[in-house]
Amino acid sequence: MSDIAKLQIGDNQYEFPLITGTENEVAIDIKTLRGATGGVTTIDPGYKNTGSCQSAITFLNGEEGILRYRGYSIEELAEKADFLEVAYALIFGELPTKEQLEKFHSDIKDKSIVDDDIKKIIDAFPKNAHPMGVLSSLTSALTAFNPSSVNVDSEEDMYNSVVKILGKFPVLVAWTMRKKQGLPLNYGSKSLGYVENVLKMMFEQPNEEYVQNEVLVNALDKLLILHADHEQNCSTSTVRIVGSSHAGLFASLSAGISALWGPLHGGANQAVLEMLEAIKEDGGDTKKYMAKAKDKNDPFRLMGFGHRVYKNFDPRAKIIKVAADEVLKELGVNDPILDIAKGLEQEALNDDYFVKRKLYPNVDFYSGIIYRAMGIPVEMFTVMFALGRLPGWIAQWREMRLGKEPIGRPRQVYTGENFRPFKDISNR
Ligand code: SDX
């Protein structure tokens, strides 16, 4: 293939270079388009055909259902790595040595104390506040308690910010849940692993010792790995564009949490469970909901199905579906919701509407079934997604800032009124 793209506008022809990535993805570099054509730009609602950056962090192939973090397959990472190893690789580019990982975890634990005044902010929220709104606020508030902005050109400063947010974020996650439950806001223990500590902070009862359950530890570790990054999805693109104005890391992460909250994005894991519950209440009538999903006059969508990139199975959904079976069996939980989910999946995979549109189960379709079996409240599901996605957001923010990328500022095509003189109120 030639290394240029030719564009014909009227009698003029323009040439633009092609960029080819390490996995042979090809993009037209249109950096010079507006200048070369005297003002012509492109338009692409939802950026379905538009790349925002070149990135070395995560590779997706939606047609083949491939997902790799820093070149490592999601299947191997989910099977053989732990969450902190994956977080380190995403952020710093390589899997850590044993010493690096031990130091990373130790440094995270040293930075995991949150200013007690954060509790005053949590107390100000009504108990029925959605945890994603609380978490986004608390994450933004971290800036107030850690005002020095990250000097991205200083490896040490960047490393310290990374371990600080990886240490404090799980505390905010746990406190967000416990506040709704009326439980004391606690800390875990520096003697525990990262995921064990999350579980202890979330589930410890004030009057008894929390006993770790390896099934829950392994399940949560795997779920966090599977959610850790996903290239330029909505919330990650939000983190990158907010960070491109040189807003701080915590402020950028807070914006990403808000973007993730939406039911079309991370909020889908909560919406899936609510949908499955509704189907169960409705006597398990999946056909009714399939019909609603296909009815253009009905805003209902089959939550947990479809994906902007994957036009094949989401590899994470495959792994989570197997894990759901294992976790429920090991916990001795018999959840009819899982059977409804599997039935719905089978129906959709054999339905022309879904097959034609290449709509497959995505990461959110089965994850909530595991979270529920673990005793996590449904409103906390998207918070758990954010806990997993944190290292990906950090990695992408760091890459954007180290790459000295310009502030994100898309153009538009104006379709409003042409010039008109002001009309005095007496003449309106
Ligand atoms: C995540 O981007 C990422 O990587 C995200 C994520 C990550 O890790 O960060 O993977 C996490 O957000 C997963 C997606 C979770 N969202 C849901 O499960 C919500 C349900 N899914 C849809 O809303 C939808 O599939 C999206 C939002 C995920 C993708 O939407 P697109 O790419 O904009 O596609 P579209 O809305 O243009 O749909 C194309 C067609 C339309 O029909 P036609 O107009 O062609 O007739 O497919 C239909 C849609 O109506 N369609 C669905 C459907 N999803 C798409 N119809 C019924 N049910 C659905 N779920």
The arithmetic mean of pLDDT across residues 94-106, rounded, is: 98
Domain ranges of the chain: 4-51, 52-396
Q: What is the pLDDT of residue 243?
A: 97
| Confidence category of residue 114, pLDDT binned at 50, 70, 90 | very high
Tell which CATH architecture fits domain 52-396. Orthogonal Bundle (1.10)
DSSP bridge partners of 153: none
As a whole number, mean pLDDT of residues 159-165 equals 95
Q: Is the CB of 396 under 6 A from ligand 1?
A: no
pLDDT at 348 over 80: yes
| 19 Cβ contact partners less than 8 Å away, ≥ 6 residues apart | 26, 27, 28, 29, 54
Neighbouring-strand partners of residue 128: none
Over 90: is that where the pLDDT of 152 sits?
no
The DSSP-derived string for 371-420 is HHHTT--GGGHHHHHHHHHHHHHHHHHHHHHHTTPPPP-------S----
| pLDDT tens-digit series, residues 298-347 | 999 999 999 999 999 999 999 999 999 999 999 999 999 999 999 999 99
Return the CATH fold of 4-51.
Rubrerythrin, domain 2 (2.20.28)
Task: Kindly give the distance from the C-alpha atom of residue 10 to the centroid of ligand 1, in angstroms, as a whole number.
Answer: 36
pLDDT mean across residues, the chain? 96
Residue 358 is predicted with a pLDDT of: 95
Looking from the CA of residue 234, the nearest atom of ligand 1 is 2
Model confidence over 192-216: pLDDT tens digits? 999 999 999 999 999 999 999 999 9
Residue 31 has pLDDT above 80, yes or no: yes
Task: Give nearest CA residue, ligand 1 atom 41.
Answer: 357
Active site residue 227: no
Q: What pLDDT sits at residue 30? A: 98
Question: What average pLDDT does the segment 223-227 reach?
Answer: 98
Read off the pLDDT of each residue in 14-42 and give the average, rounded to a whole number.
Answer: 97
Whether residue 1 has pLDDT greater than 80: no
pLDDT at 123: 96
- 4-51 and 52-396: identical CATH topology: no
Q: What is the pLDDT of residue 148?
A: 83
What number is the average pLDDT over the span 240-259? 97
Annotate 183-212 with DSSP letters as a single string. PPP----TTS-HHHHHHHHHH--TTSPPPP
Q: Whose CA is nearest to atom 12 of ligand 1?
A: 265
Cα–Cα distances in Å, from 75 out to 71, 78, 330, 369? 12, 5, 21, 20
pLDDT tens, position by position, 367-426: 999 999 999 999 999 999 999 999 999 999 999 999 999 999 999 999 999 999 999 999
Ligand 1 atom 40: the closest Cα is on which residue?
Answer: 357
From 265, 270, 289, 292, the mutation candidate for ligand 1 (largest count of ligand atoms within 8 A of CB) is: 265
